[in-house]
Amino acid sequence: MKKTRKKEKGKTMNQFSSNKFASFVIYNAGFAATYLRFLPNIKKNYDYGVMIFLLTFNLITVSSYRVQDILGLARARLYTIAIGCSICLIMSLLILPHWSGEDLHNSTAYKLDCLAKSIEGM
């Protein structure tokens, strides 16, 4: 009986220390990414990417709290994202392609004309 208590206590201590380490790493990663946004070079070039990283990081951190199978959760999320992208592409390309409308066509044609004129000028 005493041996099982020691094993249980050791397991609990190891689990506690690994949770403490994971909390420390998560806190520092979030802290670094948050304050990295304030650097002028990062803010100018990568602000949107850092913001998306922070949102995704926080979503995964909060939702995966107390989940044992992290890889299974990541796989399920990847499948969900793939299904959502597939539905979006099918809807916009096959079912309702006119949603993009004439404005998108005119805008793209105008930009390509400007690009052609700038290349001709060179």
CB 26 within 8 A of CB 64: no
Please give the distance of CA 113 from its chain centroid, rounded to a whole number. Answer: 35
Per-residue confidence band for 65, with pLDDT thresholds at 50, 70 and 90: low
Structurally, how many domains does the chain consist of?
Answer: 2
**pTM, entire model:** 0.40
Q: 98 and 115: one domain?
A: yes
Q: 31 and 78: one domain?
A: no
Q: 2 and 46: one domain?
A: yes
At 68, is the secondary structure helix, strand, or coil?
Answer: coil
Residue 103 has, within 13 A of its CA and on its CB side, a CA count of: 2
Hey, what are 31's tokens?
A: 């802290």
Domain that holds residue 54: 1-66
- pLDDT tens across 33-58, in order? 888 888 888 788 877 787 888 888 77
Q: 106 and 62: one domain?
A: no
Q: 79 and 56: one domain?
A: no
Q: 5 and 49: one domain?
A: yes
Hey, what are 93's tokens?
A: 């390309």
Q: 74 and 59: one domain?
A: no
What is the average pLDDT value for the chain, to the nearest integer?
Answer: 77
Q: 14 and 33: one domain?
A: yes
Question: Does residue 11 register a pLDDT over 80?
Answer: no
Q: 11 and 43: one domain?
A: yes
Q: 59 and 99: one domain?
A: no
Q: Give the DSSP H or E segment for 71.
A: helix 70-90
